[in-house]
Chain A
C-alpha cells in the first residue's frame, strides 16, 4: 500500500470524487492558483478548471452561504476553510441554513455539502489561530462532524463526506497534513459514524480523535512497557457518536480516559462521559478521566503553548489514575 501524507490523501480523495461526479466543486481561499494554503488542492485547478476549483474572496460567510445555496439545487460543494477559526464567520450559514434546510422545508430540500479545513493548534500561532472548535459544530442536529487522524481515514472519510446527503463538517489539522501513513488506492470509503479501535488493549480505553490520537498512541507505547494494556479508540466521527463502539470498549476494559484537544466545558468528551455513565455505569471500575486543553487561551510562547495542550505524560497520568496505580 502506498505511503501518503495526510494532505496527499485528501488531495487524492478530492481528485477521485471530482472525477467521479461533475457536481462536486471545491471553493475556498487560495485553493486554485496558489494550490492551497496547506497544499491540499495541489494541481487540481489544472485538472478541473476554474469553475470547479474556485479561488474565493476572503468572505467566509459569503462563499460558505453561496455554497449552501448551490447544494440546495443539486451541486455538491466542498468548501475549504483556511482554518476553522475563520469559519466562525460562516457559522450563521452553516448552523442556521445548512443544518436546518431539511427541517425548515419539511423534507423538501437537502444540503449535500462538505465544509473542511484544519482545526486545533497549528504551532506558535497564539489564541485566535489555535482552537479546537469541533464541539461547537457537534452540538447541532442536522450536521455530521468528522475528524480523521490518519491519512487513510482522511481519504476514506472525505470521500464518504462528499457522497453524504447531509452537511458534513470535517476537521483536519495543520500538524496532521505532513504526517505519513499507508493509504489504500482508489475506492477507499470509510463510513461516517463509525469509530475505530486503532490499538487493542485490555486495561483501559483511551478515547480520542484527530491529532490527539498520536499522543494517545505514544502514551500507550510507554504504558505497555509498564505492563499496562491500553485500547485506543479513535472516534473519527464526532456527530453522530459511535455509542456502540464506545460502550463495547469500555465494557471490555472497565475504564476510560478521554483525550480532547479542546476545552473541557461542554466538550465532546463530556458527552462521551455521559454515554458511558448512563449506559455502562455498572461496568466502570473508576470514574472516567478527561485530558483536555487547559481552560485558557492559547499563548504564543512555546512553553506556555505546550503546557496548554494534552500530551503523552498527561495521558499516562490519567491512565494510571483510572487504574489506581502509583504515580498518578
Chain B
C-alpha cells in the first residue's frame, strides 16, 4: 500500500479501532489453536488467521443494528462486533458461560445483542436465512441491512442460486460477502468451479457483484460502505467476493498438504495486520507506541479470556432439556445478562402484530396487470 498523495480520508480513531479488532482476532485465534492442542477445545475448530480484514472492514462500515451472520469459521465477526472474548472462548471450551451455554461450540457462535446471528455448519445454509432477515427489514420498512458471509465453496450450493434469485427479484437489502480463501476444505475452488470468480455469478441474477481485496481492511471497508448505501437505497442485494487467504489449515485437524509452504509464505507477506499498521504510520495516524499499547492490551484481554473459559464450569445437566422447544411465555436468553449480569440495552425489538403496518408492495398490482396485458391476458 503506497502512501497517498492526498491526506487519508480516515480518522486515527477508525484505524486504531480496526487495528485493535484485527489484532484481537489474530491473538484470539492463535490462543484458540494452542488450547485446541492442549485438549481444551475439541471437535471442529476453524481459525480465521489471515482473513481478519474481511470481518473488520465491513463491520466498521455498517451500523450497530445491522444484522450479520456467517458460516462455521465464525469467531472473527462476533469479536469484531463487540462480543465478550471470554464468553466466545468459553463457548469454544464447551462451558456453561459460553454464548450458547456450551451447546454450540466453535461452529455456532451467536450473539444477538451484537446482531451476530450465528455461525452455521452446513455449507451455504445461512445464505437463505440472510435473505429472510433482509426480507423482514423490508417488510417492516426498517433501514437495516444484513451482511452474510459464506466461503467460496458455498457458491456451488443450490441455496445460493435460489436465494440470489429471490433477493434480487425482491430487491432485498442484503450484502453477501464471499470469503474466497481459495480452498473449499482441501480442494482448490478452481478445480470444482467452471467460473472460479464468484462475483460473476451475481450477473446471472441481475445483481451487483464485485471482487474486493480481502487482504486490505480499508478496501473491504470501502466496498461495504458503498454496498450498504446501495442496499439502503432499495436497489437490491450486493455480492462482494473478498479474495483472501487463511494462513492455517481448514480446521485444526487439517495438515494443509494440498498447498505448498512456499505459497503460504508468499501469502503471509500480504498479512492485513502489518499492512494497516504501516498505512497508519505512513499517514501519521498512529505511532508505534499506539500499536504497542493496543497489542499489550489485547494480549491481556485474550489471556483473561482463556482464564475465564478455563475457570468456567461445564453447563449443568439440566441444560440438556432447555432450548429445544420454546415453552409458552418463555423469554429469550440474553447471554451477557445471564453470565456477567450486565444489563443488555440493545436487544432487538420489533413492533407487535397489532402495531405493525405493512406498506411494502412486493409485486405492485399495476406491474402485474401490465405483464398480463403484454401477454394478452385479462383476469
On A, residues with C-beta under 8 Å from B are: 20-25, 32-33, 49-52, 54-57, 59, 61-77, 92-93, 96-97, 101-110, 141-142, 144, 165-166
Contact = CB atoms under 8 A, between A and B. Distances in A.
Nearest to B353: A21
B51 to A, nearest CB: 22
A235 B368 CA distance: 43
A56 B100 CA distance: 33
Contact of B323 (A52, A76, A77, A103): A103
Given A22-B354, A103-B324, A65 B128 contact: yes
Contacts of B118: 101, 104-105, 109
A51 B100 CA distance: 34
A75 B360 CA distance: 14
A196 to B, nearest CB: 20
A102 B101 CA distance: 12
B136 interface: yes
Interface of B: 67, 98-104, 108, 110-112, 117-118, 120-122, 125, 127-140, 158-159, 162-163, 165-166, 169, 322-326, 328, 330, 332-335, 348, 350, 352-358, 360-365, 368, 379
B353 A51 contact: no
Contacts of B129: 65-66, 68-69, 72, 97
Nearest to B67: A73
Given A65-B125, A104-B103, A106-B333, A20 B353 contact: yes
Contacts of A33: 368, 379
Given A66-B135, A66-B166, A103-B324, A51 B358 contact: yes
Contacts of B360: 51
B266 to A, nearest CB: 37
A108 B130 CA distance: 17
Most buried by B among A51, A54, A57, A66: A66
Contact of A93 (B98, B125, B358): B125
A23 B132 contact: no
Most buried by B among A25, A109, A144: A109
Given A66-B129, A73-B136, A104 B110 contact: yes
Contacts of B131: 62, 65-66, 69
Nearest to B129: A69
Most buried by A among B166, B169, B333: B166
Contacts of A71: 132
A76 B351 CA distance: 13
A11 B104 CA distance: 39
